Structure 1
């Protein structure tokens, strides 16, 4: 016969919930940039080798079309050739030599050192991205064209969220009417909005030089920026299948010469611009990524480069992207495995839900794809927060919800300690013979503060408390938290003097009053 009432288990559980939420706990999730993945491997090492060999065959036999003269000249000097159709072929020995000598140690820095990201091995970092053309209004849930002010605001959101490690441009500032204004103001709004590492794009070499000059002013000198690069460049050097983009290759060349870290990104769509099979899609995407990486390496053998395979699933019924599909999780996982096969600093996309708001569909699609990428050991997971509608819109409330989801994903990567203390056989014996639960044990109380990640937005209250509070769902709490951040969190890491220098040097369109708390605007 049990020695305690039948409902004691439920009471203990609820006491445990309240204990975890009690004052004195950490009270909010804390991001970790030290967690490692690499626990999930859907493809064997032997078959990864087969994909690698297929990629080598593609590069040496099919090669790349539309190769710009600078690329042809650079690769040809290293042993590349051009076939009768004008396709640039990469010999296997050239790719092998690159993979043997390419630097693997890469740190992407924040404007403050606590936001530095070490990309060695299977260390996992999660961040924003998407370059969406629309913002989801916080109050009405309606989609509208995004602006420079919106871009700055979502950068502030990322700066305030503990489980988001970097800011990749999430929105397109559609109120900038030239590419020069767009690129320069995107870089400024991003760098002013967060101290975390920033990733942007440039549409021309001229724009890139201006972005580099901006970074030099912020860092204090060109040398200081090269030593601690707090901005890197997303470059889509390929138009699948197997064609170079001349403009992107020019930008890639300039970025490498400027010492700016580069993301060698490829975006094939399975069944549309790459084969319909996962193995074939990955093989082509590997080849396209290696081609860009080889060009960058030939320009500078010490290039700071990120291997950015990010193939996407196509919904073959409509031709649209299906970023939250189970097939997408599998395709991304295999892509990450290939980067690990080469032991290269890498990035991928996960979290590109097709849902229009942060609802249950958004939650399960994001959690599935991001978890699989993290478990595989992706160094950088972009588009992991804030994005909706297949990357067509960014949502302030989604950043808040996703921040909490990312904390849980990162926590799931933590190693499990097994030793005499954690096995706790003596404690088990004492409790089993005594009071019958572990809530009052010293180790329970101590680890309550260190071993658990407590949600702020997710609800763990009993049903009766939830009903008494008006049955709020996660979106209600997320909207309130997003509003709180947007009205109170204004980063000040760029000094007034630095901002004045930047505004004197560049055509900055973000008004100074947009960068201050409302109560400070009267002083401007």
Structure 2
């Protein structure tokens, strides 16, 4: 494994120091692991889950609703299609995926230094997705706006441990539903130069994503070696669990697949309602749904990049509410990560999930209990890594900053143990000897600036100093931090001609149809 070498520095103003520490300037394009995977099943257990998934394909089937072309593609591939129910012969999905889906791919970013490698030994941390509400400790919970959306894109841009701009970070409900995707895409393109996600709520919105990406990337859109589009967009295609894909998701998947853009095929499961209550049953159903979706993408365009997704939450069997940070979803994650590696495709799961309504102790513990399995299990695309509150209903400003800090710690953990001559530090041990301290030795002086992960929001001072500084808790420090970041934000430069072309495209599209809330 080779560590990422690309580094980029933000504007000088972003390095100014505040009482809460400097706005970090160095950006890490993605994490590369140097520690082993944590695995919970042996060969026999994995083979059993795979067998059960194939049984679901063969005996139960997957519904592909409202899309005659999808059904015909499956017929032509040898599946048994009855109405909208597709039953795949045992091994068909496996063969379709392994014959053409890439094991790893590069998603392009506007700034090539921020390209991300998705798959293999790499982890890409991505903000939360799809929240209709936003929350901060000053104004409380409220519907998201375009200003909030822009703020979160800026915060993601300024967060070194978030390697991706994300997608629908929050819903800007002050804009018409059928046109807001244009403003969200433009925000990602204008206010960040990291990779981003596309719209999937209608096939036409997926087409808008592809066209705007084509404008943004210009000559870089086509790879001269293959004469195909480079993968510049990744998008979330959710199964409508249990065992169903609807026409909206299928239509968006076809648009992206034909343009060689990446699709994350994710069963969205609340175990107990949308899957069995057991880990093994949920894993088998997740694998069956995800493989059916990935195989479909390969039928549309062999070789189009896909990511196997798993979002499996437990639920309260008393109230029906989703729960997070519990052990059973962690076990599902570990199992699905192993299965993705065996299948030979990148894996998406995990994040920093919580049911808490506030950035409190519940939020911290549940998020940590999701983020650690994300790291140890080997997730490649960690959606929902920052900001998630209230089971995904709210995007939290303070939570965003707290989660980004934790993601930075996980990236340090993934680096593993430095066994270089400097890492062994034998020169320091020889210099200091028994009974002295290491603070003044040459090795410490040479390494102290980067010796340990430094959080910008934790407080490690004495009680007396903390008391004198205002007795701030973590959420209050995070509140000050996100405000400092936004105050010091400067947009990455965008070619004025490209900016003009993007705005012209948006204006033309918005004028082409009336506003609608669907």
TM-score bracket, shorter-length normalisation: 0.7 to 0.9
Determine the structure 1 residue equivalent to 2:105: 106
Distance 2:407 2:333 in 1: 17
2:5 maps to what in 1?
none
Aligned to 2:234: 232
The C-alpha deviation readout for 1:341-382, integer Å capped at 9, x for no partner, is: 223112113212111222222112112211111111110111
| Counterpart in the other structure of 2:212 | 214
How far 1:459 moved relative to its partner? 1.0
- Structure 1 residue 150 displacement after superposition: 1.3
Change (3 A) 1:153 1:27: closer
Aligned to 2:474: 474
Q: 2:32 aligns with which of 30, 35, 40?
A: 35
- Which range is displaced more, 220-229 or 285-294? 220-229
Aligned length: 483
Equivalent positions of 1:336-415 (< 5 A) are 336-415=337-416
- Separation (CA, whole Å) in 2 of partners of 1:30 and 1:501: 29
- The answer on whether the counterparts of 2:353 and 2:389 sit within 8 Å (CA) in structure 1 is yes
Structure 2 gaps of 5+ residues are 1-20, 511-518
For residues 307-346 of structure 1, what are the structure 2 equivalents within 5 Å? 307-346=308-347
TM-aligned CA deviation for residue 76 of structure 1 = 1.4
Q: Residue 262 of structure 1 corresponds to which residue in structure 2?
A: 263
Aligned to 2:160: 162
**Greater per-residue strand proportion:** 2
Mapped to 1, the partners of 2:446 and 2:29 lie a distance apart of: 20
1:245-274 Cα deviation digits (max 9, x unpaired): 122111111211122221112102111110
The 5 Å alignment of 1:65-104 reads 65-67=63-65, 68-83=67-82, 87-101=85-99, 102-104=101-103
How big is the shift at 1:131?
0.8
What residue is the counterpart of 1:20 in the other structure?
A: none
Matched, 1:452 2:452: yes
2:192 touches 2:492 (CA, 8 Å); kept in 1?
no
CA distance in 2, matches of 1:493, 1:421: 38
What residue number does 1:485 align with?
485
| Structure 1 runs not aligned, ≥5 long | 1-23, 511-524
Q: Which residue of 2 aligns with 1:519?
A: none
**Is the contact between residue 307 and residue 339 of structure 1 (CA under 8 Å) also seen in structure 2?**
yes
Question: Residues of 2 paired with 1:488 and 1:441: CA distance?
Answer: 37
Q: Which deviates more, 472-481 or 483-492? A: 483-492
Whether the aligned pair in 1 keeps the contact of 2:61 and 2:88 (CA below 8 Å) is: yes
Aligned to 1:139: 138
- Normalised to the residue count of structure 2, the TM-score between the two structures is 0.87
- C-alpha displacement at 1:26, in angstroms? 11
Change (3 A) 1:508 1:43: farther
User: Normalized against structure 1, the TM-score is what?
Assistant: 0.86
Deviation by residue 1:78-115 (Cα, 9 ceiling, x = unmatched)? 111125x7521111232232243222131112211121
Query: Following the alignment from structure 1 to structure 2, what is the Cα–Cα distance between the partners of residues 482 and 223?
Result: 34
Give the whole-Å Cα distance in 1 for the aligned partners of 2:113 and 2:352. Answer: 25
The alignment partner of 1:76 has SS state of helix
Alpha-carbon separation, structure 2, partners of 1:39 and 1:443: 32
Secondary structure (helix, strand or coil) at the match of 2:235 reads strand
Residue of structure 2 in register with 1:60 after alignment: 58
Aligned equivalent of 1:522: none
How many Å separate the matches in 2 of 1:131 and 1:398?
16
Partner-residue secondary structure (3-state), 1:128:
coil
1:465 deviates by 1.5
Note the alpha carbon deviations across 1:292-347, whole angstroms, 9 max, x for none. 11110111111111111222222222111112323332222222222122231121
Shift of 1:30: 5.6
The equivalent residue for 1:185 is 183
Is contact 1:386-1:394 (8 Å) kept?
yes
- Residue 151 (structure 2) aligns with: 153
Inter-partner Cα distance in structure 2 for 1:64 and 1:70: 15
Distance 1:489 1:423 in 2: 39
Q: SS of 1:267's equivalent?
A: strand
CA apart distance, 1:424: 4.6
- Shift in Å, 1:423: 4.1
Answer whether contact 2:162 2:404 (CA < 8 A) is retained.
Answer: yes
Structure 2 CA distance for aligned equivalents of residues 98 and 359 of structure 1 = 46
Q: Is the 8 A contact 2:29 2:113 kept in 1?
A: no
Structure 1 residue 450 displacement after superposition = 3.3
Instruction: Specify the structure having the higher radius of gyration (Cα).
Output: 1
Aligned residues of 2:149 and 2:169 also touching (Cα < 8 A)? yes
